[in-house]
Amino acid sequence: MPELPEVETTLRGITPYVKGQKVVAVHIRQPKLRWPVPSELHELEGQVVDSLQRRAKYLLMHTLKGTVIIHLGMSGSLRICDHDTAPGKHDHVDIVLANSHLLRLQDPRRFGSVLWTQQINRHPLLCALGPEPLHEAFNARYLYEKSRSRKVTIKTFIMNAHVVVGVGNIYASESLFMAGINPKTIAGRLSMARYEKLVFAIKTVLSLAIEQGGTTLRDFVSAEGQTGYFQLALSVYGRTGKPCQQCQKPIRQITQGQRSTYYCTSCQT
DNA sequence: ATGCTAACCTGCGCGC
DNA sequence: TGCGCGCAGGTTAGCA
């Protein structure tokens, strides 16, 4: 599920319930996630969550003693529940708070992860990441320089977290459509002017999606447990064979790097 | 360094 | 109704 806007929406949803709260218990029902949930996660018990943060698609919960790193993978979601809410089949980890709430991770496919580190600044999953897409450091000059001599397609390039974080499969297609760029173009051959358009598109598309609370697809549920989010109008993603909203030609679906790509063969060159 | 592939899982919708 | 198949929002390890 979660693309960056959903992770950001989750962060904003859970923060009022979690920030400043003491953790009274941690329950690990299913430790077999993307990586095993470490038993050291119990060191969280008795700690106060001082602050919450998003980096790429990781949610970070900081305490004096260490940091919880949560990733939602493909199908994960976090919800605030009451202490007495019975866990379901895919509710793998609970972080029980002193305020009668608990933070519950549900993840049917178990591609997500819950980790614990005392050295957040040196964590291998985080320290090699590229810039945040909505920060100033992510700009056309940066992408242009970074792409010189790169032979992968532009779709694959912008989905590479070492290049820029947080551009997932939906918004990669949507951004390339907005920028009018064919997803099969080799990254190293795109002009500066086209990178200007692309960076603008990525920032715009992600900002809009965050504003609207994240695109709801399949099993995403907001932090408050709602499912009825307004669905951001998608121009190309999932619209195989349907008419392009600009030129009416059918949207084409191809596979790039084991992922589906959607684009308009006449609007995107 | 760069690029490509397999791998980790469950659930759902489709055609038969 | 049931079954098999293909597909799904992510990311890393490991290999050429």
Q: Find the mean pLDDT for residues A58-64.
A: 98
In a domain, A269, yes or no: no
Residues 110-139 of A with CB under 7 A from strand B: 110-111
Q: What is the CATH number of the domain that holds A251?
A: 1.10.8.50
In a domain, A135, yes or no: no
Residue A19 CA to C16 C1' — how many Å? 47
In a domain, A38, yes or no: yes
The terminus-to-terminus CA distance of chain A in angstroms comes to 29
Residues A180 and A255 in one domain: yes
DSSP structural state of residue A131: -
- Is A129:A165 a contact under the CB 8 Å cutoff? yes
A99-108, A196-205, A215-224: which has the minimum mean pLDDT?
A215-224
In a domain, A81, yes or no: yes
Q: How many CB atoms lie within 10 A of CB A137?
A: 10
Tally the domains of chain A: 2
Nucleotide minimizing C1' to CA distance for residue A149: B2
* Domain end point (choices A102, A127, A152): A127
Over residues A235-254, the pLDDT tens digits come to 999 999 999 999 999 999 99
The span from the CA of A37 to the CA of A45, in Å, is 15
Residues A104 and A145 in one domain: no
How much is the pLDDT for A233?
A: 84
Residues A122 and A163 in one domain: no
With residue A77 as reference, give the H or E element that holds it: strand A77-82
Residues A184 and A254 in one domain: yes
Instruction: Give me the domain span that covers residue A254.
Output: 140-263
* Domain end point (choices A127, A150, A169): A127
Picking from A57, A76, A80, A55, the residue whose alpha carbon sits closest to that of residue A4 is A57
* Domain end point (choices A60, A95, A127): A127
pTM attached to this predicted model: 0.94
In a domain, A164, yes or no: yes
Residue A140 CA to C10 C1' — how many Å? 25
A60 band by pLDDT with thresholds 50, 70 and 90: very high
A211 band by pLDDT with thresholds 50, 70 and 90: confident
A218 CB closer than 7 A to any strand C atom: yes
Residues A181 and A104 in one domain: no
In a domain, A158, yes or no: yes
Whether the pLDDT of residue A42 is over 70: the answer is: yes
A184 CB closer than 7 A to any strand B atom: no
Whether the pLDDT of residue A72 is over 90: the answer is: yes
Q: Is A214 helix (H, G, I), strand (E, B) or coil?
A: coil
In a domain, A133, yes or no: no
Share of chain A above pLDDT 70, in %: 93
A5-9, A70-74, A79-83, A213-217: which has the minimum mean pLDDT?
A213-217
Residues A99 and A158 in one domain: no
**Nearest residue: Cα versus C1' of B4:** A257
Residues A79 and A26 in one domain: yes
How much is the pLDDT for A219?
A: 40
- Is A246:A269 a contact under the CB 8 Å cutoff? no
Q: Find the mean pLDDT for residues A89-95.
A: 97
Residues A88 and A162 in one domain: no
Whether the pLDDT of residue A228 is over 70: the answer is: no
Residues 249-268 of A with CB under 7 A from strand B: 257-258
How much is the pLDDT for A80?
A: 94
Residues A94 and A177 in one domain: no
Residues A216 and A187 in one domain: yes
Nucleotide minimizing C1' to CA distance for residue A160: C11
A108 CB closer than 7 A to any strand B atom: yes
- CA torsion, points A121, A122, A125, A129, in degrees to nearest 10? 60
How much is the pLDDT for A182?
A: 98
How much is the pLDDT for A132?
A: 98
Residues A96 and A155 in one domain: no
